[in-house]
Amino acid sequence: MQSLSSVASSARASATLAIDSQFKKMRADGIDVVGFGAGEPDFNTPDHITQAAIRALMDGKTKYTAASGLAELKQAVCYRMKEDLGLDYTAENVCIASGAKHNVFLALQALINVGDEIILPAPYWVSYIEMIRLAGGYPVVIKTTEETGFKMTVEQFKESITHRTKCLILNNPSNPTGMLYSEAELREIAEICVKHNIYVIADEIYYTLVYDDKPFTSFASLGEEIKNLTVLINGVSKSYAMTGWRIGYSLANKEITGVMSRYVSHSTGAPATFAQWGAVEALTGPQDAVYEMKAAFEQRRNYLVERMNQIEGVSCLMPEGAFYVMMNLKDLMGKQLYGVTVDGADTFAELFLQHGLVCVVPGTSFAAPQYVRWSYATSMENIKAGLDRLEKFLKEGK
Ligand code: PMP
Ligand code: GLU
């Protein structure tokens, strides 16, 4: 057999998706496992959105749209960005893609030349590092800790810049840590980016999920110069419980958007037309469901964090947004559980699944090997069961 592409073959499978499939398979096999794996809202897509997609199908809206998306959806994106974040964009700045994941991929393909350096604060979402490599870029990872709330400091950022730095990926609020950068922190980062002419892929897909009434600042709102360097990533998956619809969008200057649009025209083309019509309704219709879901997530977060911190051997910070909690395993390191020495998140997650029947994501693939991630985008009943099982698992495994 001829050799396969070395770049493509080097990509590892997405750990979050792999864990989710393992969980779903165990459930299908009749095993009573509780899942905190993939970050996917447990709610159904609100009815008015689904109805709009059904109407589109019945009205024969089943043909191709422009590769970079339906004009009405681009307009809806601009409307929502103005309403929620005060941003001024027009349709030429918008690229619709098959999920925000695809928008990040396209943005990296549009920006990177082989050997360019991309700064990536860790813990990071699994897919960024693989997508950087697939684009031929070199990831420069900045390690952050709980002491700085898992946020990179300005000093760390400055130190990581070289003459090869092309781009920064900034996910705010963050998957997997749930942490939120304040406006003041973002301003400092933006100033440095402008000074060094560094592009920013600002992934704000969790922007509606910010708790305790904290304000959210979009990176692109910090001035014209930084807006011009920013590729803003967003989508409907998390805010509207539409993960399976595969609609994401990005906003950037016309040149970047043009490159992304041409790239998409030779790969996937636009996402399904009726799904795009559903997204139009999501962005322009009533927003009540967004706030109802957010309130439910906030309640779940409060319960999960409070109880987790009462359990001996584990701890976590209070996340400010998204729907993830990073559980710190440092006090368990080197100890025995079920006759096995806990040497990191992989071992812990495997033992927890096997003996506790709870599925969490080991932090290894987020560059956080002493943490496991819990997604609380699941019912309160599951959260209670998961924590009961954690208590029992730790007690009985000693
Ligand atoms: N960015 C982040 C930080 C995410 O957690 C996700 C979740 N999958 C995505 C982008 C992609 O979302 P989607 O492709 O479902 O729009
Ligand atoms: N972003 C979610 C997660 O991190 C969904 C899975 C994925 O696309 O990676 O769990």
Q: What is the C-alpha separation between 118 and 141, in angstroms, rounded?
A: 8
Establish whether residue 237 lines the binding site of ligand 1, counting it when its CB lies within 6 angstroms of any ligand atom: yes
Please give the pLDDT value at position 38.
Answer: 83
Model pLDDT, residue 17: 82
Q: Is 248 in the pocket of ligand 1 (CB under 6 A)?
A: yes
Judge whether residue 396 has pLDDT over 90: yes
Q: Tell me what the mean pLDDT of segment 287-292 comes to.
A: 98
Mean pLDDT to the nearest integer, 136-163: 98
Closest by Cα among 377, 388, 390 to 41: 377
For residue 92, give the DSSP letter. G
Q: Which of 125, 297, 326 to mutate to test the pocket of ligand 1 (most atoms within 8 A of CB)?
A: 125
- Give strand pairing partners of 203: 171, 233
**Closest ligand 1 atom to the C-alpha of 100?**
16
The number of the ligand nearest the C-alpha atom of 373 reads 2
Helices (H) and strands (E) in the chain, counts: 14, 14
Distance 346 CA to ligand 1 centre (A): 23
Please give the distance, rounded to the nearest whole angstrom, from the Cα atom of residue 200 to the centre of ligand 1: 17
Ligand 1 pocket member 205 (CB < 6 A): yes
Q: Does residue 170 have a pLDDT over 90?
A: yes
pLDDT for the residue 22: 83
Q: How far is the CA of 205 from the centre of ligand 1 (A)?
A: 7
**Ligand index nearest the alpha carbon of residue 237:** 1
For the residues 44-49, what does the mean pLDDT come to? 98
19 confidence band (pLDDT: 50, 70, 90): confident
At residue 368 the predicted structure's pLDDT band, cuts being 50, 70 and 90, is very high
Place of tokens 């090997």: 369
| Alpha carbon of 324 to ligand 1 centroid (Å) | 13
As for ligand 2, residues whose beta carbon falls within 6 Å of it are: 14, 16-17, 38-40, 101, 125-127, 175
pLDDT digits (tens, 9 = 90+) for 222-252: 999 999 999 999 999 999 999 999 999 999 9
Whole-number pLDDT of residue 23: 87
**Alpha-carbon span 173 to 52, nearest angstrom:** 29
SS3 assignment for 118-187: EEEEECCCHHHHHHHHHCCCEEEEEECCHHHCCCCCHHHHHHCCCCCEEEEEEECCCCCCCCCCCHHHHH
- Amino acid at position 102, single letter: H
pLDDT averaged over every residue in the chain: 96
Question: pLDDT tens for residues 74-103?
Answer: 999 999 999 999 999 999 999 999 999 999
Instruction: Name the percent of the chain lying above pLDDT 90.
Output: 93
pLDDT band at 21 (very low <50, low <70, confident <90, very high): confident
**pLDDT tens per residue, range 128-141:** 999 999 999 999 99
Nearest Cα to 177, choosing from 358, 327, 330? 327
CA of 127 to the centre of ligand 2 (A): 8
Nearest-atom index, ligand 1, CA of 235 = 16
The pLDDT score that the predictor gives to residue 358 is 96
* Residue 151 clears pLDDT 90, i.e. is over it: yes
Residues 2-18, mean pLDDT to the nearest whole number: 87
pTM of the model: 0.96
